[in-house]
Amino acid sequence: RPVLAIDIGGTKLAAALVDDAGRVVAYDRVPTPNAPGRDAEDLWRALDGLLDKVVADAGGPEPAGVGVGCGGPMTWPEGAVSPLNIPAWRGFPLRERLRERHPGLPVRVHNDAICVAVGEHWRGAGRERANVLGMVVSTGVGGGLILGGRLVDGASGNAGHIGHVIVDPDGPPCGCGGRGCLEAIARGPGLVAWAREQGWRPGEPGGTGVELAADARDGEPVAVAAMRRAGRALGIAIASATHLCDLEVVAIGGGVSQAGPPLFDPLREAFDAHARMDFARRLEIVPAALGQPAGLIGAAALIFAPGR
């Protein structure tokens, strides 16, 4: 039986049925009802409808369990979520609500970047590797750590949260209340805001990271600079992370990771400039091998392969 896998971000709610080979057998997504004034129950209703639809589209199988990746931070193993980028869900008892919705099924809720780490370790770029940092670069920036072949939870389930590692103490303010965090510089909405301040004018009124990345690939100078700024911040943070944790692979998922060379070239350049110890220089940095569903596949792995 497949697992019902859920990925909750500041931009979209995604759900899938994932089989034990890590294949997505049904998938759908809806925008996160994240506008000011939307409350916790609005979000829950959107998720509830999405889950009904994904299961119905697949012909109504009874899932083997429910695995969830949610924007952090959160509490583990209780599964109450407090996503920095989803104000309406601060303190929301997500695991409890899902247990009421799916009586008798195992329900595991972890942070979305931890799911990317677990998914990439299970079926992606971190297969056969014992020391993996999985990252999400999306509405926020997060990370999850596999060390010595085991998922590291930390005291509260948030170990590996690289989004709030400081890359520039004099940098821009961050949603966490700090300054110069990786997330403040590299999150999708931050990238777009910076590009607009520098005079970037997207062709489409909604101008998002998707258009910004396309403009950067076309060589538009402000878009190139915006991606370069984010890529550098990521490279600096990853250099620090691998000095701390002696990693083998970093796999980066999330919407912004699809930007391609305009992001990854400066990222690798900055990494090379800052990762000076021999042991750190061997690190492989790649886009998530499982692509955009990496977090969903990892959420399913919380049920299929909970030891990871």
Site string for ligand ADP, 29-68 (x = CB under 6 A): ---x------------------------------------
Q: How far is the CB of 247 from Zn ion (least distance, A)?
A: 22
Closer CB to ligand ADP, residue 65 or residue 202? 202
Q: Any residues with CB less than 8 A from the CB of 100 and at least 6 apart, and which?
A: none
**CA-based nearest residue to 270, from 226, 243, 231, 216:** 231
In angstroms, the Cα distances linking 223 to 56, 204, 209, 215, 287 are 41, 14, 10, 6, 20
Q: Which of residues 237-296 bind ligand ADP (CB under 6 A)?
A: 254-256, 258-259
Binds 134: which of ligand ADP, Zn ion, none (CB < 5-8 Å by kind): none
Q: Is residue 142 at the binding interface for ligand ADP, with CB under 6 A as the rule?
A: no
Closer CB to ligand ADP, residue 137 or residue 238? 137
Which of 164, 232, 274, 308: binder of Zn ion (CB under 5 A)? 164
Per DSSP, the residues of 131-171 read: -EEEEEESSSEEEEEEETTEE---SSS-TT-GGGSBS-TTS
Q: Is residue 225 at the binding interface for ligand ADP, with CB under 6 A as the rule?
A: no
Q: Which of residues 177-216 bind ligand ADP (CB under 6 A)?
A: 188-189, 208-210, 213
Binds 188: which of ligand ADP, Zn ion, none (CB < 5-8 Å by kind): ligand ADP
| Sheet (strand 107-111) strand order | 24-31, 12-18, 3-8, 66-70, 107-111
C-beta of residue 295 within 8 angstroms of C-beta of residue 253: yes
Residue 208 structure tokens? 């998002």
**CA-based nearest residue to 236, from 141, 305, 145:** 141
Q: What is the largest CA-CA distance in the chain?
A: 55
CA 41 – CA 33 distance, rounded (Å): 10
Binds 242: which of Zn ion, ligand ADP, none (CB < 5-8 Å by kind): none
Q: Is residue 163 at the binding interface for ligand ADP, with CB under 6 A as the rule?
A: no
Q: How far is the CB of 107 from Zn ion (least distance, A)?
A: 29
Which of 2, 4, 6, 9: binder of ligand ADP (CB under 6 A)? 9
Q: Is residue 11 at the binding interface for ligand ADP, with CB under 6 A as the rule?
A: yes
Q: Is residue 250 at the binding interface for Zn ion, with CB under 5 A as the rule?
A: no
Among 142-150, 157-165, 230-238, 244-252, the segment contacting Zn ion (CB under 5 A): 157-165
CA 155 – CA 49 distance, rounded (Å): 34
Which of 138, 222, 241, 280: binder of ligand ADP (CB under 6 A)? 138
For the four alpha carbons of 216, 140, 147 and 258, in that order, the dihedral sign comes to negative
Query: HSE-up of 212 (CA within 13 Å, CB side)?
Result: 32
List contacts with ligand ADP (CB under 6 A). Answer: 9-12, 32, 138-139, 188-189, 208-210, 213, 254-256, 258-259
List contacts with Zn ion (CB under 5 A). Answer: 164, 174, 176, 178, 181
